[in-house]
Structure formats: C-alpha cells, structure tokens
Chain A
Amino acid sequence: MRSIVLLLTILMFSGSVFAECKDKLCMTNESEFQQEGGTWHTFHYNKIFEIGTNWYLIFDYPSGKTNDTISFEFSTGLAKTHIYDPDKETDSVSFSGSSFTEEEFDFPLYITVTGPEGVDGEFIIYVHINKPSADDLFYLWGGMSVFWFAIGAYVLYLSTKLSDLSKKVKNQ
C-alpha cells in the first residue's frame, strides 16, 4: 500500500519535473570550455530537451566582450546567434519546444564563438531529445485494462465454478 501511495505521489509530481527551466539552479548540467587565449565559458543547460517544452541554455562569459557573437546550431540546421553584451557576464538563448518532433539521443549542439578576426572557439554539448508520453495514453491503457480485467476475471470465475462442479458430480 505504501509503495502504491509513493508511486502515485511520484507520478503526481513527475509532471512538474519537465516544466520550463529558466534558472541556473534548476539546470541539470554544467559544461565549461576554455577559449583560445584562456577565457572560460560556462554553459548551464538541461541535458533533456523535452519536445513541447521550451529549452533554455544559460551561459557565463568573460565581461567586456564587444562585437563578438556566439552561435548555437543543431545538426538539423536549427540555429540561434547571440551578440555579446559588454555590460553583462551571463546571458541565455532558448529553443522552442516545437523545434523537434522525434526523439534523439546524444544529439550535438555546436557552439561557435566568433570574434572580429574569425572563429575564437568551438564547443559541442550533447543533449537528449525526449518525446514525453501523451496525456491521453493513461486513459487509453486504463480503458484497455478494463477489457482484460473483465474477461480474465469472468473466465476465471467460470473455470473455478466448472471445476468445482465437476468434482462434486464426480464424488456424487
């Protein structure tokens, strides 16, 4: 009984695990990359890209960058380019939850930092594209179980009754 209650509680809250995460604190992964010249970039992201939920990537970069750009590109061609703000040290990009339709594992996201003289650094991070189960699947399996439960239980009832009766007749 306890395990059922625990399971139900987990299932109840599991929906919120995949809610949009826009904060560093809720990001599950952190990757650091060193650029040529020794400066560091830190990327905070969720390793799982849930289809249907916007995906955010927060990145820390050295201050004072001007006119440099950072681009993020998936191998599907989906890309975002960001111009560094010299007054900031942290920024973010987001990809729409409808960017993907199929599941992919260890899907690369190519990150390129471009300065005035060309490419300053290239990094790759890997994410899993996950397709969450549809809400109505619960109702489908619930409804389907009804048939097997009803047929199974009735056949069991009839078989037991038939074998009991056969025994009685035999002993008569």
Chain B
Amino acid sequence: MKYVRELVGGLSFVLILGTIYFGLIHLGPAKFFTAPNAQKLFYLHVPSGIITYLAFMMVVGGSSFYLYNKSSYADTLAKCSAELGLVFGFMSLASGTFWMKAEWGGDIASRFLTDMRLATTLAMWLLYVAYVVYRRQPETVNVKKNAAILGLSGMLMIPLSYFSSRFLRSHHPVIVGTEDQDSLDPSLRLGLYMGLFGFLFLYYFLFKMRFRIEELEKNYLEKRMEDA
C-alpha cells in the first residue's frame, strides 16, 4: 500500500504510451475525416475533457461539503481538484483547438464565440481560473467560504458545457448517449478507454501529490504559528 501512488502513476504512464502507440502507429489515418491525421488527437482530447469534468465535479462536491459541515478535508479536496481541472482543461481546450483548426478550418476566435460547446467550456475553465487565483491568498474562513460558493457555480457551468452540444448551436460532435455510440468502431473504443484510464490514473497520481503538498503546507504553517 506504501507505493500505491507510484504504482498508479506508472500504470497511467504505460496506458498513455499504449494509447499513443495504438492511435498513432497501430491504426492508420482515420477514414471519413477532413484531417485524418489530426483525428488522432481524439484518443487524448476526449479523455482529458472527461477528466476535466470529473475534476470540476470534485470541486463542486468538496465545496458543498465544506459549506455543509466546514470540513477541512473537503475544502482541500476542492482546492487541489480545481488546479488539476485547469491542467486537464487546458489540455482538452488546446488540443481541441488544434483539431478544430485542422478539421473545420476557419477563424479560431469566431469559433469560440459562436460554437456554444466551445464557448461554455472556455467559460467554465475561466471560472475555475478565477477560483484558483482567488485561493492564492491567506486562507481565512471567509476566503474558504467565498471560494466554496465560487466552486459551487460549477453546478451550473458543468452541465451547461456538457449538454451545450446537444441543445444549443454547436458543431461539436456528440457521441455518449446517442445512436452514434453503438456505431463507434471497436478499435476506436479500445484507444479511447486506454486513454481514459490513463488520464484517470494520472489524475489520481497528481491529485495525491498535490494533496500531500497541501497537507505539508498546512502542517508547516501551523507549526510556525505555534512557534510564534
């Protein structure tokens, strides 16, 4: 049990390498795509997007628990997860931008302004940028409470971003929960699941690392306060 974090980190590394091998080398260029090579971004873009939602949902969960019972653990969980959500969100947004430019063409800025999936996802990401920036100050009870309220706004932003491509104007493809899900080629599924588990384990590994830092920092500050 001592090396669980390292084991999970190693497993994520292997799975991500496997995804890259599978997507880039094993499978040839994708069919039915304008940009058959850029389509390979699918195997990491979709998992990073899903992990972004997961990370921000953890912020919502942690924030609600904090507001409910002032749990310090829940607050730290929300804080660490928000930072990870930004990292995975950056990966998803940036890789999606490259793929979008190759597949759809056109002006990137106008796509982000007119495609609702892109606009709402960027807005959600920026909201949590604000959250992380806000938390970079001495942690008083008020700061924690305000941050939790800000973190809770994900309750609106996460579903808005996720469902925007189904109900609002968007070119972004929708697969999960549609007829296309069953028609997804099995080879695509394997790569997608490898990428998904790879990023899930990476999330766990980084989260544990970030959580450890937070605990050390708290202990250090408490000790300093005691000494003073």
A residues engaging B (CB < 8 A)? 134-137, 139-140, 142-144, 146-147, 150-151, 154-155, 158, 161-162, 165-166, 168-169, 172
Contacts and interface: CB of A to CB of B under 8 A. Distances in A.
B41 A169 contact: no
Given A158-B213, A162-B216, A140 B224 contact: no
Contact of B99 (A137, A143, A162, A165): A143
A139 B35 contact: yes
Give the interface size bracket for B toward A: 20 to 34
Interface of B: 20, 29, 35-38, 40-41, 44-45, 48, 87, 90-91, 94-95, 97-99, 101-102, 202, 206, 209-210, 212-213, 216-217, 219-220, 223-224, 227
Given A139-B102, A143-B97, A143-B98, 8 more contacts: A135-B102, A139-B99, A143-B94, A143-B95, A144-B20, A162-B212, A162-B213, A169-B220
Contacts of A134: 29, 36-37
Contacts of A150: 87, 90-91, 94
B213 A136 contact: no
Nearest to B94: A146
Contacts of A140: 37-38, 40-41, 98, 102
Contacts of B217: 165
A143 B227 CA distance: 49
Nearest to B205: A155
A144 to B, nearest CB: 7
A116 to B, nearest CB: 51
A137 B41 CA distance: 11
Contacts of A144: 20, 40-41, 44, 95
B36 A155 contact: no
Given A136-B37, A154-B206, A161 B94 contact: no
Contacts of B223: 172
A135 B101 CA distance: 11
A134 B37 CA distance: 8
B5 to A, nearest CB: 12
Given A136-B37, A139-B101, A172-B224, A147 B44 contact: yes
